[in-house]
Chain A
Amino acid sequence: MAGNKSYHRHSRNVSIKETIGCILHIAYREVGIMRKNPIYAFCTIFFPMVVILFFTSLMNEGQPVEMPVGVVDQDNTATSRQLIRQLDAFQTTHVVAHYPNMNEAREAIQRNQIYAFLLIPKGTTTGLMSDKQPKISFYYSSVSLVSGSLLYRDLKTISTLGSAGVGMTKLSAIGKTENEIRTFLQPIAVDLHMINNPWVNYNVYLSTTMVPGVLMIFIFLLTPYSIGTELKFRRSRQWIKMAGGNPYIALIGKLLPQTVLFLTMMYGFEFYVYYHLGFPHPGGIVPILLLGLLSVLACQGFGAFAFGLMPSLRMSMSTCSLWSVVSLSVCGATYPLFAMDSAIQSIAQMFPLRHYYMIYQMSIFNGFPLVDSWFNIMALCVFIILPIFTVWNIKRAMLIYTYIP
């Protein structure tokens, strides 16, 4: 109590040392609160770890392999069977069943037993022999986009190979060399360079945005929660008093322990994926560290701002929860932002995860200089200073308001 009084007396003319002492004092108090309420430990340590392990282990394969595919082989010849064997040999495809007709194969898709099937009608081989241009077909379901597009690629390749096989046999029969045959079948070849993710690894592609997105949900929610529970448990006046009536000191002191915990989690995640799992990061360590710090602070800034705007625990937490969940969609990591409506393209700038994703893909994943993502870095800085606009309201609420359930 004596300490509190002395802070109060010098509040107009405090030295830096006293300010720091004050902040640490509040931070120490906060640690005590966090130890008493188990929800803090769950939301800062346990759940984030579960989420990190969930995403990285879920997509551990990198690209889905051996997905179930069916075959309707009405031709039943050596040629058709060879085609099926070749299809089965692909990494992504696994031929799991043969169906007598097209309807049964369709029903198998509806029952979720296969994702796609190849139909080889009767007379395909005889048609090939007699130059009648027979037709095979493949059916793929894009209800799950990943399996749809990967199986489409395999099935299309196998169908094109069918044609190429015939051409090859003919050309070698008239004495063409292998090189000539290749040139004839494919005069223009596509030389594909998949920069920085040549394996098309979905873990690299999705985990790097989804996991920080979920971590941000925790930061978004826990910030107004910890401020609001001061009101709820009637400790708010004591809190402001400890800061000598200065709401900035009160806020910084209160959020400091959470910042440390969340930053540890964020850096822990980044080091785990970049250095243990070896995700590509040509940008190096500087943008990784900078991005982790900026994004944690930006989310805390937003949370504190939201509470200042609506100094009720329920409203600010509801807003933050809706905001943080939508950010996973509008950040544009899965469905690109430029393909959304123009209004959403502007709205998306109000979500920290959008800027996280942009800085990540430009400066860490692609290794371009940080200057190229200056706009997004500035935007995250704006989020950090947002509480300035509503901090007076937080103080007012803490001194005047009472908790309304």
Chain B
Amino acid sequence: MRFLALAGRRLLAAVPALLIILVGLFLLLQLAPGDTVDALVAQMGGADATMIANLRDYYQLNDTVSVRLGDYLWRLVHLDLGYSAIYGKPVLLVIAERLPATLLLMGSALAIAFSVGMLLGVIAARGVNRWPDTLISTLGLVFYAMPSFWFGLMGIFVFAIWLDWLPSGGFASIGLSLHGLARVLDIAWHLILPTITLSTIFLAIYLRIMRASMLEVSTQDFIRTARAKGAGETRVVVRHMLRNALLPMVTLIGLQAGTMLGGSVVVETVFALPGLGRLAYESVVQRDLNTLLGIVFVSALLVIAINFLVDLLYARLDPRIAGTR
């Protein structure tokens, strides 16, 4: 019951934030010159006045901004996200199609970044200022500084064109109707390169945070106490240091949930993946207001949910937090 009350309170507090985001974005996009018909005409390579007038009418662009904003919010109350101008179907459907690919890509990239980052961070912290630390920290810096599109294109060049081990792009093999395990493996095979590309950037951040956090915890009194009790090195590192050093990492995951849902425009574009990032980018370029607002709405809801989960996880990792609530 306490859990439900907490969840309800959180959701309620999120409503004003959500409203501000949506209205702000709506107004911001009004400032962008050109509308979705201009974008469409640009894609078609020209159109005459009659057609343009018809289309403006069709997309209801002749109403005033306040009328359209009011319309949008009213529909939102009914949980209707509207119709996508680019795709000609309900926004909810468009997002639902893209969400699994995004979650799969970003989820696996974050999982790899988190676990490998944690491992490397611990190793670096244990060997601070010796060669493993120097090597790992330098590598982290290199990964962080490298533009992801370059890393992705180099990956394609080496593993797809040169070695011919991996596909150069796409989400799954087209035209083969695979089922069950074969399909899972096919998708995994396609996602190897994009996942690694994406995770390198996050990896560097996690690595740095983990290393710093481990070093900080290792000077704490309770570590000395644990050692004094006669706990072995492994036990000290895993049970005492790691558990406490994980807190900032978990915070970071919560913070990056937003990034994750926004997808990665660059990686999705380079690898031709059908993700939310590319969808959002195309919506901006094509001035498809409904789709863009829909993405923001759905992402915001999910970020709120994930941060709620992160809070619960805190309580698991550090009982003191649950006590003060």
Are A and B associated in one complex?
Answer: no
